[in-house]
Structure 1
Amino acid sequence: MLMVALIGAVALSGCSSKFKTYNGPEVTHVLVNKGARRMYLLHHNQVLKAYDIDLGFAPEGHKQFQGDGKTPEGRYVIDRRNPNSDFHLSIGLDYPNMRDRAYALAQGKTPGGDIFIHGRPNTKKKGNGPDWTAGCISVKDREIEDIYAMVKNGTPITITP
C-alpha cells in the first residue's frame, strides 16, 4: 500500500550547483502514474518526494515503437545518468527490455530507446505544454537536480497507466 503523506524533510544540499548531495532515506523505488501525471520517490512504501510530470506527446498506452511518442509502461530500472544531457540533467531507464524488443521485432519495427527522466531542454527551444517529450518523463530543472541526487543507478521504476 502506498502511503500518501510525504515523510519528513528531505535533506539535500549544494543548492548553488545543479549537483546536489542527498543524506536522507534511500530511494528504494520510483513510481510513475501516467494518468495522474505524478512521479513518487519512495522509501519502501513511504513517499519521500512527489512531482508533477510531463510525458511523451502521445501519452496513452505503452511505448512500442521508435517515434510513437509514448512513454513506456511497466517495470524498468534506472541504469545510467547523463550530467551533460541536452536537458538539465537526466537519468536513464533500461527501456527497451527483452519483451519490448521482441514485440517490436515481431512487428518489423524498432522499439526506440533513450528513455530518460530529465529537466527542461538546454536550448532556447523549450518543451511546450503538457506531454511534449519524445517518450521521456520531464520535470522542472530544480526537481531533476533533487532526483539526480536521490535516485541511484539500480533503482527500480514502475510506470503505470
Structure 2
Amino acid sequence: MSSMEVSVNSDLCTGCHLCELVCSTYHFNKSSIKLSRIIVYKDKASAKFTPILCVSCPGMPCAKACPTNAIVKNKQTGMPEVIIEKCSSCGDCVKACPYMAIRFEPSVYAYPLICDLCGGDPQCINVCWPGALTKAMSLSEKFRGAAKARSVIAEIISKYTR
C-alpha cells in the first residue's frame, strides 16, 4: 500500500491546467483536459482555482454505489480503481463521490476516470510549478507515526514515574 498522497494548497493554484494535461498525457498519450483524472475547478464568484482529485475516502462511497462492483481498492496505491470490463458506465460512482473527484464524460471516454496516483509517482506534482500539489504522507502513515511517538513517549515517562 502506498504511504503517500497528494496534498492540495488551492491558494497556490494559478489555474494553468498543466496538472490536467500531464495526467491525460501520462494515461492516454493525449493532451486533453477531458481525459484528466484531476479536475481544476474555478469558483466563478472568487475566481480562485482548486485542484480536485480522489482522496481515497474511508469506506469508498464510489465503490459502494457501483451496481456492478467495478470499483475496487488498488492494493499498490490504495486508490479506487475502475475495472473496465465490469463498468456499466451508469455514473452512480460520480454521484456518490463527496468531493466531485471522478471525471466521467461518456462522449469522451466510456468509463469514469479516478486518480490512481500514476501508480505511485503522481505526474501532476512534477509539473505543478507554483507548488499547489505536493507529496504528503497518507493519513494511515501519519497515524502509525503518531502511535509510535506515543509509545516512545510512554516508555520515557514510565522510566521516570517508577
Shorter-chain TM-score range:
under 0.3
TM-score in terms of structure 2 length: 0.28
Between Structure 1 and Structure 2, the one with more strand by share is 1
Under a length normalisation based on structure 1, what TM-score does the superposition of the two structures give?
A: 0.28
Please identify which structure carries the higher helix content: 2
